[in-house]
Amino acid sequence: MFISIIIPTYNRAHLIGITLESLLKLNYPKEMFEILAVDNNSSDTTASVLRDWELKSNGIIKYYYEPRQGSHFARNGVVKHAKGSLLYFTDDDMIADENMLVELATIFIDNNLVGTATGCVLPNWEKEPPAWIKKYFTNGWLSLLDREEELLVSPDDFGVFSCHQAVLKDVFIKAGGYNPDIVQGEWLGDNETGLNIKIKALGYQFAFVKKSVTHHIIPKTRMTQQYFNKRFANQGNCDSYTDFRKHDYATVELKKNIIKFRKLKIQKYLKYFILYVLQHDKWRVNRAWVDYYKHRMLYDKKLLTDKEWVKMVLINDWIN
């Protein structure tokens, strides 16, 4: 099975080489995969770094440029150049184990109902994280995934992240690719969540392969309360996008949502304040939830007032 590895990158000249080096060391046959590295309009030296890796990779790495900001544009746009029947998506701050791709590809050979698959995403800490991060956030809030099962095949999305996601190419195209994600620091849509919803609607299943392991580099800049406040705020945007597409809310329902999320925001704020005074470290989680509900409220307000925004939210096909 020929596999196209797709990596969008933006201003990560200092990291992308680590990811590319790990991918070139994969045990998968070198003639059976390619790496499409997509410069997503970087302003640092990313382009020259990628060109250097392209030259020394003996044709495995191919450089592409995507001027539209947003990794969904980079991922979706480069698919037309991909030669593989299987697409593997990762990010520019990942370190793959040598057997990552071999283990992941096997599930598609053994089970023709699987449309997308993932494996373990483990942390590679830039420095030792504070205790509260390990206690509360060593999970999907840092795009980390680990499960007890050696192999899981499910009709439902159990948390397949785009930093470690394989998708059959024809399924990816039928689904219309990734929905919008982060642009200039703000989440516009639901990214892999939306893609996975569309894959399920096509009748395909999701797989987890424990032996397929990659490591997510967690910089010290993500080990702050401010980071998690922002991360939860973005998730609020994402979830409002998902819910609107699922329920096709009318004006009255959106207004009810805004009132509901305002109340939940106040409740979380009060809980955060009490826990902060009591010096209980769970104040950090509740403080982040304050921003989550604030942004759910703001996103629904935008859906209520901006017809062009609603048109964007209802787009299904982000490839064409």
Q: Is 189 exposed, middle or buried (0-12, 13-18, 19+ CB in 10 A)?
A: buried
Residues 108, 17: one domain?
yes
Residues 7, 18: one domain?
yes
pLDDT-derived band of residue 183, with 50, 70 and 90 as boundaries? confident
Q: Please give the C-alpha separations between residue 252 and each of 108, 243, 283, 296, in angstroms, as whole numbers.
A: 45, 15, 34, 16
Residues 254, 161: one domain?
no
pLDDT-derived band of residue 251, with 50, 70 and 90 as boundaries? very high
The encoded tokens of residue 124 equal 């590679």
pLDDT digits (tens, 9 = 90+) for 11-46: 999 999 999 999 999 999 999 999 999 999 999 999
Residues 36, 150: one domain?
yes
User: For the whole model, what pTM was predicted?
Assistant: 0.96
Is the pLDDT confidence value at 235 over 80?
yes
pLDDT-derived band of residue 186, with 50, 70 and 90 as boundaries? confident
Residues 46, 96: one domain?
yes
* 318, part of any domain: no
pLDDT value at position 53? 97
| Last-in-domain residue among 185, 202, 222 | 222
C-alpha dihedral sign at 233, 68, 8, 201: positive
| Last-in-domain residue among 205, 222, 239 | 222
Residues 242, 306: one domain?
yes
Residues 185, 233: one domain?
no
Q: How many domains, the chain?
A: 2
pLDDT-derived band of residue 185, with 50, 70 and 90 as boundaries? confident
Chain-wide mean pLDDT for the chain? Answer: 96
pLDDT digits (tens, 9 = 90+) for 78-127: 999 999 999 999 999 999 999 999 999 999 999 999 999 999 999 999 99
At 199, which helix (H) or strand (E)? helix 191-201
Residues 38, 156: one domain?
yes
Which structural domain, as residue segments, surrounds residue 294? 225-313
* 132, part of any domain: yes
* 165, part of any domain: yes
Residues 82, 114: one domain?
yes
Distance of CA 220 to the CA centre of its chain: 20
Q: What is the CATH number of the domain that holds 198?
A: 3.90.550.10
